[in-house]
Amino acid sequence: MFNRQVRIMFMLDEFECFKILNGLFIWADGNVESHRWAVIYKISIGMARGLDHLHTGLQKPIVHGNLKSKNVLLDRNYLPSLSDFGIHLLLNPTSGQEILEASAAEGYKAPELIKMRDASPETDIYSLGVIFLELLSGKEPINEKPTPDEDFYLPNFMRNAVLDHRISDLYHPDLLLRNNNDKGNPVTEESILKFFQLAMTCCSPSPTLRPNSRRVLMMLEEIGK
């Protein structure tokens, strides 16, 4: 049933924790893999497949509720698996709110989510979009020391970059430079910008404007062609 490079589990010893915030992947200085389009695409489409399975592939759909880069596990080939999904359903309201507050402090909480019990597929999609932006830009979800021209939250920073025509802020400059190393999965700036547009749509302030998991997966597959 699950042989599409999508594995969802709580723990696996052979997996490395995909901790962007702790610098084990994207924020690690000198980690050239984090700036390769093939790796970014593999991680992104794997996450989308995992989330789509949670939302549509089970007899009773599951809302992840705490999707963030620390809760994505990578194997040695950069195939991702989602962890800690549905934990909020097992907790009392106070503990659930603590998870929500941590998610907000880290920059992954959808703006409409006030109580953890209201977590939904749409709030999962928002969090997924934030991770997409992390992968693409090499920037953290929260900028604790923004300049006057920057915003505290990554999605807002990206919207302002578009309005100010700062295209160079939308993705890491090495993505195109390292394109020659991705012979099996070449990328153009057009594909990168389509990926950016998808990420920003996932991060729409209005939940009704966000694509569902199946649509996200279809759009990623189209970008990868």
Question: Which CATH number belongs to the domain containing residue 120 in this structure?
Answer: 1.10.510.10
Record the pTM: 0.84
Contact 166, 52 (CB under 8 A): no
Contact 116, 56 (CB under 8 A): no
Tens of pLDDT, residues 48-98: 999 999 999 989 999 999 999 888 888 878 888 888 888 887 777 888 888
> Helix (H, G, I), strand (E, B), or coil: what is residue 129?
helix
Tell me the angle at which helices 37-56 and 213-223 cross, rounded to the nearest 10 degrees: 150
Greatest mean pLDDT among 9-13, 14-18, 151-155, 214-218? 214-218
Tens of pLDDT, residues 93-119: 888 888 888 888 889 999 999 988 889
Domains contained in the chain, number: 1
Q: Does residue 12 register a pLDDT over 50?
A: no
- Is residue 141, in this structure, part of any structural domain at all? yes
- Is residue 60, in this structure, part of any structural domain at all? yes
So what's the pLDDT on residue 30? 52
CA distance 125 to 110: 9
- Is residue 5, in this structure, part of any structural domain at all? no
So what's the pLDDT on residue 189? 85
Tens of pLDDT, residues 16-44: 454 443 344 554 445 556 678 888 899 99
Q: Does residue 11 register a pLDDT over 60?
A: no
- Is residue 1, in this structure, part of any structural domain at all? no
- Is residue 3, in this structure, part of any structural domain at all? no
Tell me the angle at which helices 189-202 and 154-163 cross, rounded to the nearest 10 degrees: 130
Tens of pLDDT, residues 138-171: 888 887 776 666 666 899 889 888 888 888 788 8
- Is residue 6, in this structure, part of any structural domain at all? no
- Is residue 24, in this structure, part of any structural domain at all? yes
Chain centroid offset of residue 157 CA: 16
Domain with 216, as residue range(s), is 16-223
- Is residue 71, in this structure, part of any structural domain at all? yes
CA distance 46 to 61: 18
CA distance 190 to 175: 12
